[in-house]
Amino acid sequence: MIARLRAFAAFWYDFVIGDDWRVAVGVVAALAITYGVSTTSIPAWWLLPLAVVLLLPVSLWRAVRK
Amino acid sequence: MTSGALFLAVFLACAVEAVEATTIVLAAGTARDWRSAFTGTAIGLLVLAAIVAILGPAVSAIPLRGLRLVVGALLLIFGLQWLRKAVLRASGHKSLHDEAQIYQTELTAAQAAGAERRLSVPDWYAFTLSFKGVVLEGLEVAFIVLTFGSNQHDIPLAAIAGLAAVVVVAGAGFAVRAPLARVPENTMKFVVGIMLTAFGTFWGAEGAGAHWPGSDAALLVLVPAIALFAIMLVRLLRRVSAESTSATPAEVH
């Protein structure tokens, strides 16, 4: 039973998070910062594109170094 | 986002997954038993249709801003993972997705497995192999249909696009009775990764309260900008790979 639960959890982890959990954490953090900035008078739209520009090369670099 | 763009985005994403599922079903049918493989496929498709039919109205009932935040986050995570793999494949750091090779592997495994009859299914192995292939590959299709469709308030159109992709790909696969190795799957995955990342960025930012300059027109800048960035990363990684290859003999001296 525990093995099945583990397999179920592993499937959903792999389905949603994928190969690099740092990407998921980075996206959630960027969304939280976007929300925070959007409550001020500063434009917040540029934060997620910036997150893409930072997260993708870092994740790729880690994969290539492996 | 126009209806045409919604249709195209969902069709391409679903076609990629359908190619992979078709390879698995073909291997199960060829090596084992076609009737069991088709039964597994049909029940797998029914499960996916039920997921879309049950979750569709539920997802549509979520307020748009909350929906865009959650869907944007998931699409962005999905998109970046797809794009990561696509860039690694295009730059030679990961082997290309080869349907012919996958087909041979599945075929060998299917031929080696023992036969068993269960619940009036002549070959349980062929049934479960097809069912699992269709459901696991199709879950992403269901997710894409629901997220793109609900954000554009047109789940039926997204479902038709997904279904059309499955019919076209599966029809071609069964017509030639061979894996669709000639489909430019790696290129399609690259394009889908760009689209998922762009739409995830757009909807995620809107859901978090940001306002895009130019509103929906910002997508017309986001999609090509992310495409250019990904192509630039491919070139950069190819150069890193070439430099490390040429530097290796020099280090020996």
In a domain, B178, yes or no: yes
Residue B143's pLDDT band, with cuts at 50, 70 and 90, is confident
Please spell the DSSP secondary structure of B188-249, one letter per residue.
HHHHHHHHHHHHHHHHHHHHTT---TTGGGGHHHHHHHHHHHHHHHHHHHHHHHHHHHHHHH
B72 touches chain A (CB under 8 A): yes
CA pair distance B134, B127, nearest whole angstrom: 11
- Give me the residue label for tokens 């540029």: A46
Is residue B226 domain-resident?
Answer: no
Q: What is residue B251's predicted lDDT score, i.e. its pLDDT?
A: 44
Look up residue B63 and give its amino acid. P
Is the pLDDT confidence value at A61 over 80? yes
Is A26 part of any domain? yes
B210 neighbourhood in chain A, CB within 8 Å: 34, 37-38, 43-45, 47-48
The number of C-beta contacts closer than 8 angstroms across A and B is 100
Task: Tell me, yes or no, whether B129 lies in a domain.
Answer: yes
Q: How confident is the model at residue B178, as a pLDDT? A: 64
Domain assignment of residue B113, yes or no: yes
Residue B132 has pLDDT above 90, yes or no: no
Give the residue-averaged pLDDT of B4-31.
81
Nearest CA in chain A to B197: A52
Mutate to test the interface with B, among A12, A27, A38, A46 (most CBs of B within 10 A): A27
Q: Which domain covers residue B167, as residue numbers?
A: 3-79+93-184
- Neighboring chain A residues of B88 at a CB cutoff of 8 Å: 60, 63-64
How many structural domains are present in chain A?
1
**Residues B26-32, mean pLDDT to the nearest whole number:** 78
Whether residue B1 has pLDDT greater than 70: no
Given an 8 Å threshold on Cβ–Cβ distance, is A48 in contact with B205?
yes
In a domain, A12, yes or no: no
Domain that holds residue A53: 19-65
Whether residue A44 lies inside any domain: the answer is yes
Chain B segment 129-168 residues within 8 A of A by beta carbon are 139-140
Average pLDDT of the residues in B196-212: 90
| B201–A49 C-beta distance less than 8 A | yes
Q: What pLDDT band is residue A22 in, cutting at 50, 70 and 90?
A: very high
- The residue among A15, A56, A62, A65 with the most chain B CBs within 10 A of its CB, best to mutate, is A56
Is residue B214, in this structure, part of any structural domain at all?
no
Distance between CA atoms of B232 and B230, rounded to whole angstroms?
Answer: 5
Interchain CB distance below 8 Å, B208 and A28: no
Mean predicted confidence (pLDDT) in B39-54: 85
pLDDT at A44: 92
Confirm whether A9 is domain-assigned: no
> What confidence score (pLDDT) does residue B230 get?
93
Q: For residue A35, give the chain B residue with the closest CA.
A: B208
Count up the domains in chain B and report the number. Answer: 1
The ipTM is 0.90
Q: What is the pLDDT of residue B182?
A: 62
How close B36 gets to chain A, by Cα (Å)?
25
Residue B85 pLDDT greater than 80, yes or no:
yes
Look at A31-35, B64-68, B88-92, B109-113 and tell me which has the smallest mean pLDDT: B109-113
B45 occurs within a structural domain: yes
How many helices (H) does chain A have, and how many strands (E)? 3, 0
Q: Tell me the whole-structure pTM to 2 decimals.
A: 0.75
| B67 contacts B59 by C-beta, under 8 angstroms | yes
Q: What percent of chain B has pLDDT over 90?
A: 11
Give residue B224's pLDDT. 92
- Cα B23 to chain centroid distance, Å, stands at 14
Selected for mutation to probe chain B from A12, A14, A34 (highest B CB count within 10 Å) is A34
Q: What is the pLDDT of residue B179?
A: 62
Q: Do B76 and A17 touch (CB under 8 A)?
A: no
